[in-house]
A and B are shown apart, each in its own frame.
Chain A
Amino acid sequence: MDVAVRASAAAATAEDAGHGRATARRRPRVGVVKFASCDGCQLTILDVEDHLLEIAERFDIVEFAEATSRRSSGPFDVLLVEGSISTPEQAVEIARLRAEAKLLVVIGACATAGGIQALRTAAEHEAFRAAVYPVPAYVDSLATARPVADFVQVDAELRGCPISPEQLVELLVSLTTGRRPQLPDQAVCLECKRRGIPCVVVARGLPCLGPVTRTGCGAICPAFGRGCYGCFGPRENANTAGYAQALVTGDAAAGADGRGRDPVDVGRLFAGFTGATQPFRSVTDSLAGRPPVTLRPTLASPPETLRAGPPTWGPAPSAPEAPSAAAAKEAPDGPRQ
């Protein structure tokens, strides 16, 4: 599920972009929270050094346990959520936080796709617990680790393991200016080509998930002569079945002998940090001879926290609010205006 920030995510008025700038506006209250995750994405927030002062100036960071002892349980104008939902308590807590947040942004592979811990979705949960913990009864975990969007409405997502600092800044800038963040959904391949990185599939015969993975990382792995391992998750319309087939037949990334790869190995290639997403998981299952699983069932009912409008810090716009991105998508093709 690609969740674009709603069309006018931040309630920017004409004044916001300098057209008679308003002064003394309340800074949006920002929280950063985590669930099942490694904190790497939170560290990325601290890693945008050149922008930290600007961010602190424009956003009121009221909750960010990784960075400050100041605490808040809400409400939040913007809530950044790291981690997947892995325990019953987390499922309750994310619903509470959703109610406190005007704009909920999930960050990182765990929050957007389940993360590496979601691999247990394809295994026997009880057997796992028994194998890992001496007294499994002490551990109260859900059978699956799932992305936040499986539990509550999500307004935007930043992908990656960890997220890209550039995309984080882009998101924050877009919130202050009221525009849609530019988070491309196309393949990593475009970034490789723009950077002039020779294709590792063609030139080295490496299995690389770049063709089916969303760009945003700057093609880091191919730049160092490695195949992409898909941490940004599936790109738009990813033809994972076609690509996996080519890896098996040897049409793609054949070895020196021209032969393809073992199907199970190809399946494992897709079973990484975002392996619990439907386009990747379906390949892993089919190559391992497992029956297909439908992931991310539709929410039984719309979460109560689903709100129609954008958040409303700062002066209210005088014109009617824009329709949501979802509404715009539903509209029939309009003529050019």
Chain B
Amino acid sequence: MSVATEVPTFLPRDRFDDLLQALAAGGRRVVGPTVADGAIVFADLERAADLPAGLTLATAPGRARLEPLPAGPGARRTFQYTVSGEGIKKFTFPSRVDALSMTTDLAGTVRVKVEAPAEPVPLAVVGARACDLAALAVHDRVLIGGPAVDPDYAARRSDLLVVAVECALASSTCFCATMGTGPEVTTGADLVLAELDDGFVVRAPSAAGGRIVESLGLAPAAPERVGKAAAQTAAARVAMGTDAIPANARDLLLANLEHPRWEAIAERCIACANCTLVCPTCFCTGQTVTSGFDGVTSTAARTWDSCFTDGFTQVAGGNFRPRHQDRYRQWMTHKFATWFDQFGTSGCIGCGRCVAWCPVGIDVRAELTAFAATAPAVAAVPLRDRGTLQPLAPPAPDALDFRRATVVSITPETADTSPLRLVTDDPAILAGTPGQFVMVGVPAFAIPPISISRYHPDGIELTIRAAGAATSFLTRLRPGATLGLRGPLGRGWPVETAHGRDVVIVAGGIGLAPLRPVIDAVLRDRAKFADVRIYLGARTPRERLFVDEIEALAAREDVLVRVTVDRAGPEWLGRVGIVTQLFKTVRGTGTDATAFICGPERMMAATATTLGDLGVPPEHMWLTLERHMECGVGLCGHCQFGSRFVCRDGPVFSAAELGDDLRREGL
């Protein structure tokens, strides 16, 4: 540590250019606040003259207007505002990153190339505030804290020099003091500036910062300057207060997920997504696939996405959050409640950007306070027990890499569903467990998650229903074609927890596909399980899957198989009705049973209710959720279901783990 770290020094205003030059030494890119488009915009900072001198940013809900500083000795200050609309996120987590490219050669061989992470560009950021640094720490936890790591963020983060500025005032939208993140800069900075009328008090908390101070040959700051700097930050703290939001915000939100206030907010909320995109901790991304006219090359770019958009939770069968109130509830509960469960910290750092840059001026502080006013006494909601939700197989560090697999055969099962038999020599995929899934990449198409419907010694089967363009294409592949697989991903069915117990398998429609490896595993070790019963539902007789296999199972003495269809024609002599009606004709499943359920969400909820009535304990009922997924490893944010990432914590959950959320609308 350099001696400069101990003693505050003074940088006269006319020497700020020297600081910029010192930062730029060795080719480092220097960025900081500038004025552009009527706002403060972080951009390349070549001269001190580029800084927003003599300006402040007057913020209020829905407002952030540049205004001249009042005349006086401080009229030429350059950091006399708090946060701009965009923080430093656009440098560490850019709005668009090329993620991968895919090509197919004339022989039909797919090559998937995961784009190398950005070259670590040495970067110096001038003018980050305490809240920005708190946000950076949150992103570190989310994006490189594991289990999966975002390589692009890791590269950009690896050589970052931070020159922080301690706020000399608080805007009306600031609440960092409530969130415990500011206004004092305590961690994460290499240099900390506190601006006075004639210059800057400089602290150098890191060795790198100390070397810069040394190179500038700065003199120690006079005690009165140090005192004045501390006093203005202390005044900013007082101005903000420390009670901007209720202390029990998390409990309030989780206890009021069905509160009428959500609907009232949705009448004002225009779901423009601005709050999420200015938020320095929001990390959700989507993939945009572009391809050439040849159809054999394509690029997938990762772009900022938002839980306020319709496509965010869209799957082929529908949308999980169709209403604005569902989306607002997701955003607010994620920031103030479920983030704690996911990452052990708040998702809000109190910068107030979402307040100022909401075009219609919705103020999260006011909304949280309103919840407190209408539901004053709520019990503390314990943090989700992460112990039961740890993935069985955490994603490997190279979880974003694709492996090649070759199509051996494809045999249509129904009008729209075909099992795809693939061979691969990838040991990780071959070692997958029942209920895990893979992301399937072919050029020009989005990359869908597909569950593995059988394991073979030399490969796997994927049962594909042509529900969208990508899956339609997959069902038309021919033997010999190759595709890219990323996986196996997720936490599968805990088949071994059913050892010594009765096994009840309930599948609706194509829900049989993810359960097929469970059936395989149970039959392989048949002696380890007591009664085995399989209940299958399909919409029509024609839509039944794996008919021959199921008939062979039904012929066995040691397995009970029951099949029903929703609608039947004259050729069908079996049962007609929904799958839950099958249990009523079968005696006593009960407390000694473990159930594995897969089908449409409503069917699974109904099945869980019926089985619960028959005595099956919720911790022994397992079901698998479908959600929109872009990454499969907990980085893109799309598949969130309350505090869970379906891709990483599931897709298989017990009914006990899901609790009331299983039947909650719009989650």
Q: A58-B293, A179-B469 are in contact. Are A186 and B309 (CB under 8 A)?
A: yes
Instruction: Give the docked Cα–Cα distance between A328 and B324 (Å).
Output: 23
Q: A319-B412, A328-B316 are in contact. Are A203 and B39 (CB under 8 A)?
A: yes
- Chain A: CB-nearest residue to B318: A333
Find A14's partner among B95, B318, B476 (CB 8 Å cutoff): B476
Find A7's partner among B267, B293, B442, B468 (CB 8 Å cutoff): B468
Asked whether A336 lies within 8 Å of B476 as measured between CB atoms, the reply is: no
Find B359's partner among A20, A176, A197, A201 (CB 8 Å cutoff): A201
Instruction: Give the docked Cα–Cα distance between A17 and B107 (Å).
Output: 11
Interface residues of B in 588-637 (CB under 8 A from A): 598-602, 624, 626
- Summed over the interface, the residue pairs from A and B with CB atoms below 8 Å come to a total of 285
A218 to chain B, nearest CB (A): 13
Asked whether B472 lies within 8 Å of A193 as measured between CB atoms, the reply is: no
Instruction: Give the docked Cα–Cα distance between A210 and B318 (Å).
Output: 26
Q: How many residues of A contact B (CB 8 A)?
A: 76
Q: A186-B309, A194-B96, A336-B449 are in contact. Are A211 and B464 (CB under 8 A)?
A: no
Q: A251-B360, A332-B317 are in contact. Are A202 and B62 (CB under 8 A)?
A: yes
Q: A179-B473, A193-B95, A319-B476 are in contact. Are A336 and B450 (CB under 8 A)?
A: yes
Instruction: Give the docked Cα–Cα distance between A241 and B291 (Å).
Output: 38
Asked whether A252 lies within 8 Å of B361 as measured between CB atoms, the reply is: yes
Find B292's partner among A173, A196, A336 (CB 8 Å cutoff): A173
Q: A318-B476, A328-B467, A337-B450 are in contact. List 15 more A-B contacts (CB 8 A).
A: A13-B476, A18-B295, A20-B108, A177-B293, A177-B295, A178-B472, A179-B444, A182-B290, A186-B311, A189-B272, A196-B41, A211-B274, A236-B311, A323-B416, A335-B626
Asked whether B442 lies within 8 Å of A17 as measured between CB atoms, the reply is: yes
Q: A17-B443, A320-B412 are in contact. Are A205 and B309 (CB under 8 A)?
A: no
Asked whether B274 lies within 8 Å of A334 as measured between CB atoms, the reply is: no
Asked whether B356 lies within 8 Å of A20 as measured between CB atoms, the reply is: no
Find B468's partner among A198, A241, A328 (CB 8 Å cutoff): A328
Instruction: Give the docked Cα–Cα distance between A12 and B61 (Å).
Output: 50
Interface residues of A in 232-254 (CB under 8 A from B): 236-239, 241-243, 245-246, 251-254
**A9-22 vs B: 1/0 string, CB under 8 Å?**
00011101111110
Selected interface stretch from B132-140, B202-210, B504-512, B517-525: B504-512
Asked whether A193 lies within 8 Å of B449 as measured between CB atoms, the reply is: no
A20 to chain B, nearest CB (A): 5
Counting chain B residues whose Cβ lies within 8 A of the other chain, the interface size class is: 35 or more
Is B357 close to A, CB under 8 A?
Answer: yes
Find B469's partner among A8, A16, A332 (CB 8 Å cutoff): A8
Q: Which residues of B lie under 8 Å from residue A237 when comparing CB positions?
A: 271, 310, 322-324
Find B62's partner among A179, A184, A254, A334 (CB 8 Å cutoff): A254
Find A198's partner among B39, B96, B464, B470 (CB 8 Å cutoff): B39
Is A317 close to B, CB under 8 A?
Answer: yes
Instruction: Give the docked Cα–Cα distance between A185 and B445 (Å).
Output: 18
A246 to chain B, nearest CB (A): 4
Is B47 close to A, CB under 8 A?
Answer: no
Could you list some 17 contacts between A and B, CB below 8 A?
Answer: A13-B476, A17-B296, A17-B443, A18-B443, A19-B104, A20-B107, A182-B289, A189-B274, A195-B95, A198-B38, A198-B39, A202-B63, A202-B358, A243-B270, A246-B270, A251-B360, A331-B467
Is A25 close to B, CB under 8 A?
Answer: no
Asked whether A334 lies within 8 Å of B310 as measured between CB atoms, the reply is: no
Interface residues of A in 160-186 (CB under 8 A from B): 170, 172-173, 176-180, 182, 184-186
Q: Which residues of A lie under 8 Å from residue B442 when comparing CB positions?
A: 17
B468 to chain A, nearest CB (A): 6
Find A18's partner among B108, B289, B311 (CB 8 Å cutoff): B108
- Chain A: CB-nearest residue to B598: A335
B525 to chain A, nearest CB (A): 25
Find A320's partner among B273, B415, B651 (CB 8 Å cutoff): B415
Instruction: Give the docked Cα–Cα distance between A307 and B619 (Å).
Output: 49
- Chain A: CB-nearest residue to B462: A337
A145 to chain B, nearest CB (A): 28
Q: Which residues of B lie under 8 Å from residue A332 when comparing CB positions?
A: 317-318, 600, 602
Is A212 close to B, CB under 8 A?
Answer: yes
Asked whether A334 lies within 8 Å of B626 as measured between CB atoms, the reply is: yes
Instruction: Give the docked Cα–Cα distance between A254 and B317 (Å).
Output: 42
